[in-house]
């Protein structure tokens, strides 16, 4: 981490999180920072949707967050790691990869940036810090094998079987991902540049195909995917926001995201097209299931 964070920038970041002052590094202080970050800085793909791919640079990501926006894992964990270092934490970046379903292969393909923090006063643990999973952790976790409850969700840490010395985080099954593995070796932001470009621009990327915004709090997850707003606690409740005013109000009230009139219009058109495509796909699948053969062929 070579970029420097000035004291005015650091204080502005703390205000962005609703915190009044910097605390010395510690487990409790790190937990407060992590919780405030995931509650107030959304996981979102607005710039990708508006065909304005951003840099992977952590300083640029921090500036965008201070301007009221969020990002996805490279932006969020990149900026968070930069700030934690400025606050005196010993932070390491790691190459990671996500497993989308239980049947997907486990990989470390640089599609995810994970952070660890070590040498906290009063703790012999290394801590997993991850504000970049969307519907993921509310608090940091000590890197010890076991099951961890956070609000209504359960996570599990085990040594990685694909990266000796690394770790695997199993995510709650109500989330959008199955698990995340990360390598123990230190990584640089430049190590993620090629993957970031692919995820930001490839027509096959989920970030390009569908708009999403997510946030985590002590009681659950909020997700806005195209026109569908979901709140997940013990169960998931979904609402289709098919009126422009309702959709923009949710974007602002739930995720803290406000747009210029031009950006709002462009994004509104996109999410409507994505919702219609989703409905058409669902209708085709339903039709195929209803017309599928139910028994052995007859002569």
Task: Tell me the CATH number at 253.
Answer: 3.30.2140.10
pLDDT digits (tens, 9 = 90+) for 52-105: 989 999 999 999 999 999 999 999 999 999 999 999 999 999 999 999 999 999
Residue 215 lies in a domain: yes
Residue 279 lies in a domain: yes
* Phi-psi label, residue 88: left if phi above 0, alpha if psi -120 to 50, beta otherwise: left
Q: Is the pTM of this model over 0.75?
A: yes
- Residue 13's region, left for phi above 0, alpha for psi from -120 to 50, else beta, is alpha
* Model confidence band, residue 298 (pLDDT cutoffs 50, 70, 90): very low
Residue 287 has pLDDT above 70, yes or no: no
Q: What is the pLDDT of residue 293?
A: 72
Average pLDDT over all residues of the chain = 94
Report how far residue 47's alpha carbon sits from residue 71's, in angstroms, rounded to the nearest whole number. Answer: 8
Instruction: For residue range 90-117, list pLDDT tens digits in order.
Output: 999 999 999 999 999 999 999 999 999 9
Residue numbers of the domain that contains 261? 206-286
10 CB contacts (<8 Å, ≥6 apart)? 22, 83, 86, 87
In this predicted structure, what is the pLDDT of residue 294? Answer: 64
Residue 295 has a pLDDT of 58
pLDDT for residue 201: 96
Within-domain flag for 117: no
Whether 255 is covered by a domain: the verdict is yes
- Is the residue at 26 inside a domain? no
**118 within a domain of the structure (yes/no):** no
| 136: in domain | no
Helix or strand holding residue 143 (H, E) = none
Domain assignment present for residue 52? The answer is no
Q: What percent of the chain has pLDDT over 90?
A: 91
Q: How many domains does the chain have?
A: 1
């Amino acid at each position: 981490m070579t970029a420097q964070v000035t004291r005015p920038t650091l204080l502005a970041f703390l205000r962005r999180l609703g915190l009044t002052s910097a605390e010395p590094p510690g487990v409790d202080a790190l937990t407060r920072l992590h919780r405030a970050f995931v509650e107030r800085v959304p996981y979102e793909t607005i710039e990708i949707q508006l065909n304005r791919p951003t840099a992977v640079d952590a300083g640029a990501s921090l500036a965008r967050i201070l301007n009221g926006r969020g990002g996805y894992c490279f932006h969020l964990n990149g900026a968070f790691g930069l700030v934690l270092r400025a606050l005196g934490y010993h932070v390491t970046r790691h190459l990671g990869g996500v497993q989308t379903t239980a049947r997907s292969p486990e990989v470390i393909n640089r599609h995810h940036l994970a952070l660890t923090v070590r040498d906290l006063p009063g703790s012999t643990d290394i801590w997993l810090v991850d504000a970049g999973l969307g519907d993921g952790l509310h608090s940091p976790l000590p890197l010890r094998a076991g099951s961890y409850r956070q609000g209504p969700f359960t996570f599990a840490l085990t040594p990685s079987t694909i990266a000796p010395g690394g770790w695997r985080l199993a995510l709650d099954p109500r989330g959008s991902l199955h698990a995340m593995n990360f390598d123990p070796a230190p990584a640089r932001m430049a190590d993620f540049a090629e993957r970031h470009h692919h995820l930001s621009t490839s027509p096959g990327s989920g970030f390009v195909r569908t708009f999403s915004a997510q946030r985590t709090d002590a009681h659950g997850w909020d997700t806005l995917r195209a026109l569908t707003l979901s709140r997940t606690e013990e169960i998931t409740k979904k609402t289709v926001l098919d009126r422009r005013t309702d959709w923009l109000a949710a974007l602002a009230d739930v995720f803290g995201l406000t747009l210029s009139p031009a950006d709002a219009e462009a994004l509104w058109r996109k999410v409507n097209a994505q919702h219609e495509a989703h409905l058409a796909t669902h209708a085709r699948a339903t039709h195929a299931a209803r017309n599928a053969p139910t028994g052995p062929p007859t002569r």
